[in-house]
Amino acid sequence: MSFDINKIRSEFPILNRQVHGKPLVYFDNAATTQKPLCVLETIRHFHNQINANIHRGVHKLSDESTQAYEDARETVRAFINAKNTREIVFTSGATASINLVAFSFGEAFVREGDEVIVSEMEHHSNIVPWQMLCERKKATLTVLPMNDNGELMVEKLDELIGPKTKILAVTQLSNSLGTITPVKEIIALAHSHNVKVLVDGAQGVKHDADVQDMDADFYVFSGHKIYGPTGIGVLYGKEKLLEVLPPWQGGGDMISRVSFDTTTYNDLPFKFEAGTANFIGAAGLATALQYYQSVGIEAATRYEEELLQYATQRLTSLDDIRIIGTALHKAAILSFLVGNIHPYDTGMILDKLGIAVRTGAHCTEPVMTHYGIDGTVRASLAFYNTREEVDRLIEGVERVKLMFG
């Protein structure tokens, strides 16, 4: 291990909490991650010393606030290797970013009879906005299926894509299966048919977020899943595409001139940022990205991979465990079932032992339908988790088996 786990854990105060009289084991990182002290300090400092609305004031505080917001945009640009900051739109999160594209791209390019492709393993937030678009435009939603290991059947893409296909939306990393999808291959294939691709990076951004390397047309993620604050997210779009898309929401900041006869819109990226932006969230996100880079993304990812291997090996050494999501390329998300015990019961007992896991469909009902189940227990690990915590999970599962077995 190339980083100091004790030092890292000391930077996340919440990890010292007791839950039901036991030290907290936080294994719900795919739902939201914890925030290091430096992020909390950025938010505190902003409120205490800077707080002022951006892009509007002539006064010092507004200047500093605007500067911090635009610096955050540059930090995000560098983090995902976008060409320039005109391509970085701040939103409230991945969901808002997808809705923005589904609306604006839909308005500009999707007509009656056209097709939109999503994959079977998408989060609801990368399904429903496209369904709404298809309903609005009388277009068709087509599904790229997955196999029983939870891997996308990319070989089917050639026959799924037709002359009417306009856009394909796919996750980079499944939140319920842990599958890392071959986005680069999918994008190359889609582009060979002149189809645009939106990549949902909500989970994947922690591992590989080079938008130029993957050649994504749109890339979205949320701050709160990468050690940043809630209520802030990012839409990356290729500049040429964003330029031709109509605005999503109207309001302050997104306009150039307003009169009752005509309104003209602001330049990129402001055209897509109506209303008072979450400038404090943006600053917090920038700190989170810098912090994560200082930890070392490769080292953190490798550490999580080792932890996943350990957890998988320990869990599967127990009887009656069914792992849901056995893709060859997986990140540290472990979805499982314990015999016929309802995931909710497993989750409740684990909670009493201080272990936070997620239970249910994880906003991926089509994935559950694929496996003919209602839900799973999901342990999602982060670089601040430890083998000892995995051991506590295994003990907890053994306890569950004893109680319900």
Please give the Cα distance from 259 to 245 (Å, whole number): 22
In contact, 199 and 181? CB cutoff 8 Å = no
CB of 244 to ligand PMP, least distance (A): 25
Residues 253, 222: Cα–Cα separation, whole Å: 22
Looking at the Cβ atoms of 230 and 301, the one nearer to ligand PMP is: 230
Burial of 128 (0-12, 13-18, 19+ CB in 10 A): middle
Least distance to ligand PMP, CB of residue 58, Å: 35
Identity of the residue, 114 or 304, whose beta carbon is nearer to ligand PMP in the bound complex: 304
CB 121 within 8 A of CB 176: yes
Structure tokens at 109: 């390019």
Choosing from 38, 52, 241, 363, which is the catalytic residue? 363
Strand extents, DSSP E, 40-109: 88-91
Query: CB-based contacts of 265: which residues, under 8 Å, 6+ apart?
Result: 247, 254, 255, 256, 271
Minimum separation from the CB atom of position 43 to ligand PMP (A): 18
Residue type, 179: T
CB 381 within 8 A of CB 311: yes
- What is the bridge-based pairing of β-strands 263-265 and 255-258? antiparallel
- Is residue 363 flagged as an active site residue? yes
Partners of 28 in beta bridges: 380
Q: Which is nearer to ligand PMP, 30 or 324 (CB)?
A: 30
Query: For ligand PMP, which is the closer residue by CB, 54 or 202?
Result: 202
Residue with tokens 């989970």: 203
**In whole angstroms, how close is the CB of 197 to ligand PMP at the nearest point?**
15
Evaluate whether 362 touches 346 at the Cβ level (below 8 Å): no
The span from the CA of 38 to the CA of 250, in Å, is 34
Report the amino acid identity of residue 206: K
For residue 90 the two structure tokens come to 């701040």
Q: Are 72 and 287 in contact (CB under 8 A)?
A: no
CB of 174 to ligand PMP, least distance (A): 7
Min separation Cβ 73 and ligand PMP, Å:
19
Closer to ligand PMP by CB, 125 or 386: give it. 125
Smaller CB distance to ligand PMP: residue 100 or 350? 100
Contact positions toward ligand PMP, by CB under 6 A? 30, 93-95, 123, 125-126, 171, 175, 200, 202-203, 222, 363
**Which residues are the active-site residues?**
363
